[in-house]
Structure formats: C-alpha cells, structure tokens
C-alpha cells in the first residue's frame, strides 16, 4: 500500500532553534515530493522536489530529497514563532488514480 510517513508528528522548540522534519515514502510511480505549510486553513506551497541531492532553499527553510533511500527532510533554521504550523509532506504520482498522497503532517510549535 502506498504511504507517506512523517516524523516527528509533533514538536515544540524555542525561538532560534534549528529543526529538521522528516518525510519518508513508499509509493509507486513517484513523480515529485511536495512540502506545504498549513496555518489555520489553507496549505501554502513551500517546495517541490524531483531530483535527488539538490537542495532547495527559501530564506531560512531548505529541503532535500533522497530518491534512493526514499525520504526528504525539511530544515528550518533560526525558528520564529511565525513558523508555528503543521508541515505537510506529499508525493505526487505519475498515475491517474490516487495521484497525490499526503503524510499526516508534523505539528511544529515555536515558543518565545
């Protein structure tokens, strides 16, 4: 059965800490891996990863994919209270059925 697993499921850190969120997957017909940040309601897009070993960066956030070991990490450096959110990992598949599979999310709380 295709699945996406995230760890940890919940995390509490202090402002200024660096965090690493993990996403592993077992899916057929892998096309890309996606990271989203969800605050309150609508998820917002962070990264799309298709190739192994190429780090994508956006400010204090960065992410990398390992297609051999089937995982990705999302790093957040110098965390701020505004980083508090649920971080979702999803795999987009090259298939017309069950095209996108999401992980359960990691709930990150950053305390002052």
- What are the residues binding other proteins (CB under 8 A)? 31-32, 41-45, 48, 50, 88, 90, 95-105
- Closer Cβ to other proteins, 64 or 91, answer by number: 91
* Minimum separation from the CB atom of position 102 to other proteins (A): 4
Q: Are the CB atoms for 36 and 105 separated by under 8 Å? A: no
* Minimum separation from the CB atom of position 14 to other proteins (A): 27
DSSP structure string for 15-29: TT--EEEEEEEE-SS
* Minimum separation from the CB atom of position 105 to other proteins (A): 7
- Closer Cβ to other proteins, 83 or 105, answer by number: 105
* Minimum separation from the CB atom of position 94 to other proteins (A): 8
- Closer Cβ to other proteins, 74 or 79, answer by number: 74
């Amino acid at each position: 059965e295709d699945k996406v697993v995230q760890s940890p499921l919940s995390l509490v850190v202090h402002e200024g800490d660096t965090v690493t969120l993990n996403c592993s997957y077992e899916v057929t017909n892998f096309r890309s891996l996606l990271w989203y940040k969800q605050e309150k309601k609508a998820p917002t897009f962070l990264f799309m990863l298709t190739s192994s070993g190429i780090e994508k960066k956006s400010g204090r956030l960065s992410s990398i994919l390992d297609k051999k070991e089937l995982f990705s990490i999302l790093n957040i450096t110098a965390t701020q209270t505004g980083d508090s959110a649920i971080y979702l990992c999803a795999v987009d598949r090259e298939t017309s059925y069950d095209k996108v599979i999401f992980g359960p999310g990691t709930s990150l709380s950053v305390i002052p």
